[in-house]
Amino acid sequence: MNRRDKNILKLSTLKQNIAMKHLFKYLIFLLVLMTTSAYAQKIVNVKGTVVEKSNNLGLPGVNILSGTPLKSVGSTGGDGSFSINVPENASLVFTYIGFNNQTIKLNGKNVLRVLMQESNNDLKTVVVVGYAPKTKEVATGALTTISGKALQDVPVANVMELLQGKVAGLNIQNNTGSPGARGSIFVRGLSSIEVQGSGNDAFLTPTSPLFVIDGVPLDANTNYEYGFSQGGPGISPLSLIPPEDIEEVTVLKDAQATSLYGSQGAYGVILITTKRGKSKTPIIQYVTSFFVNTPPKLKQVIGGKGERDLRLWQIMNYDTTVYSARQRIDNNPLLSDSLNAFYNNSTDWQNVFYRTTLNQNHNVNASGGDERFNYKVNLGYYDERGIVENTGLKRYSLGMNVLYQPNEKFRLFANVSSALGMSQKGSGNGILQSGVASGSSASSLLPAPSLFSSSGAATGVLIVDNNNKSGNIKTNLEARYQVLKPVSVTSVINYDYNTGTEDTFKPSILNNNSSNVYSYNDRRSTLYNRNMISYAQTFNAVHNVNAYVFNEMYIRNYQAQAVSQVRTPNDQYQGPLGFNAATSRGGVLSSYADSRSAALATQLSYNYDRKYVLDLSYRWDGVSSSGPDVPWSKNPSIGLKWNFNRESWFKNAKWLDYGSLRTTWGKNIVPNGTVFDAFGSYNFSGVYNGSQSIGVGFGNLPNTTLTPTVTTQYNAGLDVGLFEGKYQFTFDTYYKMVDNQIREKTLADHNGFGAVKTNEVSLVNYGYELSLTVRPLAKTSKVNWTVSANGAINKDVLTSLPDRVRQILLDGGATGQAILYRLGVNSLSNVLYNTKGVYASTDAVAVDPATGKRYQTTNGGSTVFFQGGDPYWTDLNGDYKLDGKDLVIAGNSQPMITGGVSSFFSYKNYSVNVNMSYTLRRDILNVPLAERFQNFSNPGGANSLVPIEELQYWKSAGDVALYPNPYDYLRYSAYSPFRYNQTLFQEDGSYLKLNTLTLAYTFDKKFAERLGITSMRVYCTGNNLYTFTNYSGPDPENVSDLGRDNSSGYPSRRSYSLGLNIQF
């Protein structure tokens, strides 16, 4: 700590020295000015402040120019104030990157208040595409930039949550509320059809885009496979980035934009830039917020006597005879022994597990400097306790960067950022909280959890000792040297190191008398290096050429170990000695990896007077997981752009700010599989002659032609800005092929090998994206109002499956929710029984004309004939028997339309910011509703009962109902009326969500100054406020990527926060 403080001090003194130097320069300049022009003009001292129009905060580092030609006469300080000496009646020009220039004629005034408005001209924004900065005007690819300002004011662990609905074509579903976990992120639709698990627990293999944080690539998919298929702390690496430190986020969507991120970029690229120092006087900004997380509306349950009465009523009415009913009741003390204190309860189980928490977030940012030297230090602390007991996330982060550019020729940029995340997962695994799910749905008749009650699993949630840590350190050094005027050499090296540990202790008292110590640790490192030679030249003032060549390499290592010790001596002595050696396990997990990739890439950009733009790039990528026969993949791209507003016909068109038409084509890859899939493996193969031997691993046949997944994308877009920023419009259409997806094929047993992985799966996404920004009020208005809306339509079509088959059915597991891959239609279809209604009476059931039997079904053992109150499922093959042959293809688990709406409104010191997002046309399997009915399948069970009175279910003969009779529990197992895999529970999961609402107030400068601070702003924010939907389940967003509403998922919290932003 101390040392860092000293560093900061050192930095600021250095900074002051520089400032002094500048001061000297200005003094000399002023002296010269005075001596030369004192006779001509009177010099006046002008004071004032420059503030940002949207939030009334002082803008530091604004450059002030005056004279002809324009010369710098000063710049604003940390609070936006300035004091300059200029000739009387001079004209002052205030410039600042990202803002419109403001020109003010003095006309005798000497105290100014300058309002700077953010530039609405999108095209002037500088973006870094493919490692080289360029203005958006000459970028041919499809990209969207979100300012970091839009990501402040809402305390969240994972910043991606805030990008939801902000970028057309970036579909973010915050489908878990687990602190530190991340939702799913799709850029332009589906990129993989691989599914892990089955039925309700099926998860789509995540295909998140590549994140590049200050130039350090971070693959969010590797370390974090839902915290599900592997152990580990379950903290997404994205959760280790403090949102306050983010300057801007750029989303690159098409193949041209991502082309130079080649060996990883096929799923899209998201660039995150953290803040830099830009004020000559150092600025210290402190942001804090306190927030309350509340659980969503919990389900209602029937409690105590009501529950017991309902169970008794059901048994008495639906058992075969009154004798059998009485016997059933008598044999079940839960029902018959109502005076027993153990069963005489009305426990609110959900209250045991769900809680409202108070949390806090602190962030200090110190920065300063100018173009020659600037620095930033960001220190963050974030503490969120989950709404489920025994879960939560704490994050400590420290990030800093320094840019040093002593002269035009040399530039050095370095950054180091480190973060530590600590989480508790409770009894779940980060995504699923099955312990809580089963615990919170226990019967209300059972006593509240204690070690001596029968609800051991439930107690486990509360007293399992779980502690996880995830640490990350990123270092990056970038040096550039300009050899000649047009030629420069850049070298980048960075190292990213992650380590995760998990320690869990399950005491024996609740784990079947067998305590369990689980200790896990992993480490992952990525070393990255890039060396680039670039050339930039302008000929005849109109021909702009920019070309570069670079090589790139990655070295990645990953290894995880786990120790699981069973039966420690007692619950207090938790090892390391005395465990049961026969049942304990430990060692390196088989997920270890050591991979390399190398690439050579080149790009040529040419534009004619920024009117016609051509981008060409080519990239050779070698990855170690490619088969030895095809080590290199070649990825070309081309982009064309026409800025038609620069044509002579629009010369006088004041209404057209900009207009461009662009089209691109290109290829990208993402490595998949492991080196063993391509090269095979040697494994321990048994003992031969008394010694252990190593032989060929016969599990997987090596595929020497294995290649990475390739996406080939066409994109065409149109950007138009009208009436000086009043209307801005971007339209994109794309056609994206995702080929060579890896899939395992089992081999016939005579091949010797068990399976082989091949690249035979392909799919296509195509769609449209539209973004629209409107500033309805006049520029001169005191009210600043911006409304943005965007939407994307995406359709995916499966185009190829292994062995040229046309369809593959994935088993539905325990819940029967099967998935069908079928060529020519959407890639992931649900396969379900088609529920056409409920039989009003037994007469309505179809009869087999040949045998005279009613429509029937069997569960293998017993056969039941359908009767009144049973569901009417389509008999697809007309055999009067309901079985697997009657399943129909129904529904698409992938959303078709996604997007968002946001509005920013400010007036004087007040501002209101609203963000909404929507998802339309998506099918969800409503498992919670099915379970709600299934609760009645066993009236003697000890599960909770949720009231179903408001649902239209069948009660007596003749009822036309939506849901079948839930009470007929004796026949239940034979025909499962509330089976999960039926269209009755497939619902439309469209929703419109009010993501965030922020009200902010900026204190008057005078008031702030009285407190000794530059500026002060308070705000309150509501997050995840309300979801408008017709979906009858709990939350249409909190469902898996495959549209399964897993009731053991972690619910999304609602949060209310109060924040303060102070700048010194």
Which residue ranges make up the site for other proteins (CB under 8 A)? 653, 655-656, 659, 661, 714, 716-718, 720, 722, 729, 731, 733, 735, 764, 766, 768, 797-800, 805-809, 822-825, 842-843, 845, 847-854, 865, 876-879, 881, 885, 887
In the three-class reduction of DSSP (H, G, I as helix; E, B as strand; rest coil), residue 313 is classed as: helix
Instruction: Tell me how far apart the alpha carbons of residues 952 and 950 are, in angstroms, rounded to a whole number.
Output: 6
Closest CB 253 distance from other proteins, rounded Å: 15
Residue whose CB is less far from other proteins, 571 or 883: 883
The β-bridge partners of 872 are 837
Residue whose CB is less far from other proteins, 106 or 809: 809
Instruction: Tell me how far apart the alpha carbons of residues 442 and 437 are, in angstroms, rounded to a whole number.
Output: 9
In the block, tokens 């062995």 appear at 803
Q: Give the residue from 248, 240, 255 showing the smallest Cα distance to 271.
A: 248
Closest CB 757 distance from other proteins, rounded Å: 21
Instruction: Tell me how far apart the alpha carbons of residues 498 and 523 are, in angstroms, rounded to a whole number.
Output: 6
Tell me the CA distances in angstroms from 1040 to 898, 989, 1046, one per residue in order. 16, 12, 7
Q: What are phi and psi of 194, to 5 degrees?
A: -70, 135
Residue whose CB is less far from other proteins, 632 or 729: 729
Residue whose CB is less far from other proteins, 309 or 879: 879
Instruction: Tell me how far apart the alpha carbons of residues 976 and 969 are, in angstroms, rounded to a whole number.
Output: 9
Residue whose CB is less far from other proteins, 343 or 766: 766
Closest CB 139 distance from other proteins, rounded Å: 18
Q: Give the residue from 275, 529, 496, 532 showing the smallest Cα distance to 403.
A: 275
Residue whose CB is less far from other proteins, 698 or 729: 729
Closest CB 809 distance from other proteins, rounded Å: 6
Residue whose CB is less far from other proteins, 731 or 1056: 731
Q: Give the residue from 601, 776, 625, 774 showing the smallest Cα distance to 703.
A: 625
Instruction: Tell me how far apart the alpha carbons of residues 702 and 678 are, in angstroms, rounded to a whole number.
Output: 5
Residue whose CB is less far from other proteins, 159 or 887: 887
b or e along 358-374 (b: 16 or more beta carbons within 10 Å of the residue's beta carbon)?
Answer: ebebbbbbbbbbbeebb
Instruction: Tell me how far apart the alpha carbons of residues 743 and 700 are, in angstroms, rounded to a whole number.
Output: 12
The distance between the two most distant Cα atoms of the chain, rounded to a whole number of Å, is: 118
Closest CB 649 distance from other proteins, rounded Å: 10
CB 365 within 8 A of CB 244: yes
Residue whose CB is less far from other proteins, 358 or 653: 653
The β-bridge partners of 407 are 410
Residue whose CB is less far from other proteins, 685 or 877: 877
Q: Which two tokens stand for residue 853?
A: 């039997």
Instruction: Tell me how far apart the alpha carbons of residues 627 and 705 are, in angstroms, rounded to a whole number.
Output: 5
Closest CB 716 distance from other proteins, rounded Å: 5
Instruction: Tell me how far apart the alpha carbons of residues 712 and 707 are, in angstroms, rounded to a whole number.
Output: 14
Instruction: Tell me how far apart the alpha carbons of residues 468 and 232 are, in angstroms, rounded to a whole number.
Output: 8
Q: What CA dihedral angle connects 118, 124, 130 and 133, to 10 degrees?
A: -90
Residue whose CB is less far from other proteins, 260 or 738: 738
Angle at 133 between CA 166 and CA 16, to 5 degrees: 100
In the three-class reduction of DSSP (H, G, I as helix; E, B as strand; rest coil), residue 3 is classed as: helix
Angle at 387 between CA 383 and CA 392, to 5 degrees: 35
Residue whose CB is less far from other proteins, 612 or 865: 865
Closest CB 187 distance from other proteins, rounded Å: 18
Looking at residue 757, its amino acid is K
Residue whose CB is less far from other proteins, 396 or 714: 714
Q: Which two tokens stand for residue 217?
A: 């690539």
Residue whose CB is less far from other proteins, 126 or 653: 653
Closest CB 833 distance from other proteins, rounded Å: 13
Q: Is 542 exposed, middle or buried (0-12, 13-18, 19+ CB in 10 A)?
A: exposed
Tell me the CA distances in angstroms from 201 to 162, 719, 816, 973, 989, one per residue in order. 27, 42, 11, 22, 18
As a residue count, the chain comes to 1064
